[in-house]
Amino acid sequence: MEQNSTDWSKIARNPKFKELRRRKEKFLFGWWIISAVIFVIFLVVANLGRKVYGWCVIGDINLGYLLVLALFVYCWFIAGYYASWANRFSDKMTADLVEDLKEGGINK
Amino acid sequence: MKGRFVILAVILALLAPSIALLPAQALAAGSDSYIAQAVVAQTAKSAAPAVPAKIAADKRITITMFCIFIAITLGIVYWASKRTTSTGAFYAASSSITGVQNGWAMAGDFMSAASFLGVSGLISLFGWDGMMYCIGTSFAYVTLLLIMAEPCRNVGKYTVGDILSFRAKPAPVRATMALAAVLLSIMYLIVQMVGGGKLIELLLGVPYTWSVILVGVLMLIYAVAGGMLATTWVQIIKAGLLMGGGFLLFILMAAHFGFNPLRFFSEVVSSPKIQSWVQIALLKQPVAQPGFEYGRRFLEPGLLQTNVWDQVSLGIGSFLLGVAGMPHILMRFFTVPDAKAARKSIVVAMILIGLFFVMVTLFGLGAAVIVSPQAIVAVDKGGNMANLLMAELLGANVSPLFGDIFFAFLCSVAFATILAVVAGLVLAAAGAIGHDIWISIIRKGKATQREQVMAARIAALIVGVVAILISLMSQNINVAHLATLAFAIAASGVVPAVVFSLFWRKMTTAGICATLLVGTVVSLVLVLVSPNMTYPKIVAQGAQTQITSLEKKQAAGQTLTEKETGDLAKAKQVYEANKDGKSIMGLDRPWFPLRNPGIVSAPIGWLVAIIFSLLFPNKREEEKFDEMYVRQTTGMGIDELIKT
C-alpha cells in the first residue's frame, strides 16, 4: 500500500466511515462525560454532605464506603461494557470498512 | 541463549544469600531495626497490649529477598538486551507485548510503592479521605480507555511527539513536547526516587545517599541495557508479586477479623485508639465532646481534604485528566501491536487496579485497628509503614519466622515497585530526547538503527544521572508537590494537545505549542504561589501561638514539664529563624489558595489551544486531518509504524 497515493479525504467521506465515527464518538465521549460527572458529584457531596456519607447502612458500614465500592464496580462496568461493545460493533464495522476499501482499490 | 540466561539467573540467585550476609552482619551490629525500635518505644510509652513488644524483622531475610529479586531482574535485562538491537525494540519492545501482558504492566505503573504503602498509610491516618486516591486512579483509567488508548496506538510510534507531529510542523511541536515530557518525567522521577530512597533507608537502614544510588544504578541498568522489553517484564513480574503479596495480606487480615466484614467495620468504629486519634490529633479537641462518635467520624470524609475546590481540582486535574497525559503511561500503548490489544490492556489493567485498590482501602482501615495510627506515625510521619507493620504483626501471629519472611517479601516488592516505575519514567524521557530531539530534529530522521539505539541509550543515561543527582540533593526538601505539578502540566498541556490533535480538524502547530507552553507555565506559577510552598511567616505565627500559650501557663505559676520546656525552646528557635523569611517567590502567604492547580490551569490550557489554533490556522494541516482521522479510527497503515 503506497501511503502517498491514498485518498484519505475520500475515505473520510465514505458513509460507512462516517457512521463508524458517529457511533464511536457518541459512545466514547458520552460515557466519558457521564463518568466525569459521576466522579465530580461524588467528590463534591463527600465534601459538602459529610453527614450523608456517614449514614450507616449495614451495621457500621456507612454509605461513604459503599459508594467507594460502587465506584470501583462502575469502573469495572465501563471497562467490560466498552470491551463488549467494541468487540460486537466497532471492530466489525472497522474490519468491514477496511475490507470494502481493499476490494474497491483504496483510491476508488 | 535461553539456557545461558537460566544458568545466569540460577547462579545469581544462589549467590544472593551469601552476598547478603556480609552487609547484614555489619547492620546487625546496630541491634534491631529502626522500625522495631520505634514500635517498641511506642508500645512502652502507651503500654498497649495489642502490639507485641518484639516484632524485629530479621534483616538478613530482607536483604536476601532483595538480592534474589535483583538477580532475577538482571537475568531479564540480560535476556532483553540481546533482543534490543533496533529502535523499535528499545522504545516499544518491538510492539510485541500482548494485551494481557501490557495490562499487567500498566496496572503495575499505578500499583506503586506510593499506592501500596503511601495510600494505605493515608487511609490508616485520615480514614475515608485517603480512599479518594484509590477511586481517582480507577477513573484515570476510564479516560485512558475511552479517549486515549486506541487512537494513540494507531498513530503513534515511539513517543507522544510522534502523535503531535503527525500533521503539525514536526520541529517546533516535537521540541515543545519533548521539553514537556522531559520536565514531567524528571519531576515524577524525583518524587519516586526521593520517596524510594527514604523507604529503603527505613527498611534496610542503608543511608539515604546509598539508597538513592542503589535505586538509580539499577534503574539505569534496566532502562539503558534492557530498554522497554526489560522494563515491561520487570513491571509485569512486580505487579504479579504485589498482587500475590497483597492478596496474602488480605487473607491474613480477613482471618484476623473472622472473615466478617461487619465485625471489621465495628472494630474500626469502636477502637479506642482510633477514637482518641481522631479527637486529639485530627480534630484537635483536647476535651471530648459528649456523645460525639469519633470512631464513626474516621469513616466519614473531610479529615484530610477540607476545601471542596481543592478536592474537585485534585479529582479533575490529577486523576481524570492528569494521568492520561503522562508520557510514561502513553508510551505503554506503543508496546502492543494494535488498537484491540491496547484496549484489552486497559481493560485488564482496570480489573487489576480495582481489585488492588479495594484491598488497599481495607488495608488502611485494618492497619488503623491492628497497629493504631499512633504507632504508625511513630515509625514514619507520613504513615508509609502502616501496611508493613500490619503485615509483620499478622505474620508473627502465624509464626515468628513467617512474620519475618512475609515482612521481608513485602519490603522487596515495595523496592521492586520503585525500580520498575522509575525505569519506565527514564525511558519516557529518553524517548523525548533521543527520538524527538536528536534523531527527528537534529538528524532530520536520517540516522542508522545503530545510531538511533545509541542515541536512545545515551539519552536514558543522561536523564537517569540528572535525576539521581537532583534526588541526592533533595533529601530534606518536600518533593511531594512535584507530583501535583507534573499531573497539572499533563492535564493542562499534554492532554489538550493530544486530544485536539486527534479529534479536532482545526488544531494547528500554534495551538499545540501554545497549550504545552502555557499549560506548563501556568501550572508551575500556580504551584509556586500555592500553599504547597513553605511560608516562613505562617510557620513563625504557629510558633508564636505555641510560645504564647506555654508562657501564659508559666506566668500562671505552673511548672512546665520537661517536654514542654523543650517545646518552648524549640518554638522560640523556629520563630526566630522564620519571622522575617519569605517564601520561594518572596510572598508572606499563599497567593493562590488551592494545593492542586488543575481546576484553573486545565481550562486555561484547553482554551489557549483553541484560541491559538483559530488565530493561526493552517490549511495544509487541516487537510492532513482526514488522514489522521481515518488512521486513528481504523488503524490503517499501522504496519509501517511498527515494522521500522
Q: Which neighbouring-strand residues pair with B329?
A: none
Nearest residue in chain B measured CA to CA from A38: B139
Interface mutation vs chain A, best among B296, B630, B631, most A CBs within 10 Å: B630
Print the domain residue range for B340: 2-45+59-499+619-643
Nearest residue in chain A measured CA to CA from B295: A60
Contacts of A69 in chain B (CB under 8 A): 358
- Domain membership of residue B53 (yes or no) is no
What is the per-residue pLDDT across B599-617, written as a single tens digit (0 to 9) for each? 999 999 999 999 999 999 9
Q: Above 60 in pLDDT, residue A74?
A: yes
Q: What is the pLDDT of residue A108?
A: 42
Phi, psi of B545 (to 5 degrees): -60, -45
Do residue A78 and residue B627 have CB atoms under 8 angstroms apart? no
Size of interface A-B (CB pairs under 8 A): 158
Nearest residue in chain A measured CA to CA from B147: A28
Interface mutation vs chain B, best among A18, A43, A48, most B CBs within 10 Å: A43
Stretch B455-483: mean pLDDT: 90
Q: How confident is the model at residue B228 (pLDDT cuts 50, 70, 90)?
A: very high
Domain boundaries, chain A: 21-103
CATH number for the domain that contains residue B19: 1.20.1740.10
**Closest partner CB to A28 (pick from B134, B146, B299):** B146
**Closest partner CB to B265 (pick from A11, A20, A59):** A59
Mean pLDDT score of chain B? 86
Q: How confident is the model at residue B18 (pLDDT cuts 50, 70, 90)?
A: very low
What is the per-residue pLDDT across B248-281, written as a single tens digit (0 to 9) for each? 999 999 999 999 999 999 999 999 999 999 998 8
Q: What is the pLDDT of residue B580?
A: 84
Do residue A39 and residue B141 have CB atoms under 8 angstroms apart? no
Q: Above 70 in pLDDT, residue B23?
A: no
On whether the CB atoms of residues B286 and B280 are closer than 8 A, the answer is: yes
Do residue B296 and residue A60 have CB atoms under 8 angstroms apart? yes
Kindly provide the ipTM of the predicted complex, given to two decimals: 0.92
Nearest residue in chain B measured CA to CA from A28: B146
**Closest partner CB to B308 (pick from A21, A48, A71):** A48
SS3 B331: helix
- Domain membership of residue B536 (yes or no) is no
Tally the domains of chain B: 1
Interface mutation vs chain B, best among A2, A51, A60, A100, most B CBs within 10 Å: A60
On whether the CB atoms of residues B320 and B135 are closer than 8 A, the answer is: no
**A28-42, B76-90, B494-508: least confidently modelled range:** B76-90
What is the per-residue pLDDT across B178-221, written as a single tens digit (0 to 9) for each? 999 999 999 999 999 998 888 888 888 889 999 999 999 999 99
Q: Give whole-number Cα distances, B148 to A58, A65, B441, B466, in Å.
A: 39, 30, 26, 30
On whether the CB atoms of residues B33 and B24 are closer than 8 A, the answer is: no
Q: What is the pLDDT of residue B56?
A: 52
Mean pLDDT score of chain A? 88
Whole-angstrom distance, CA of residue B130 vs CA of residue B510: 40
What is the per-residue pLDDT across B134-176, written as a single tens digit (0 to 9) for each? 999 999 999 999 999 999 999 998 999 999 999 999 999 999 9
Q: Give the end-to-end CA distance of chain A in Å, rounded to a whole number.
A: 14
To the nearest whole Å, the CA of B239 is away from the closest chain A CA by: 19
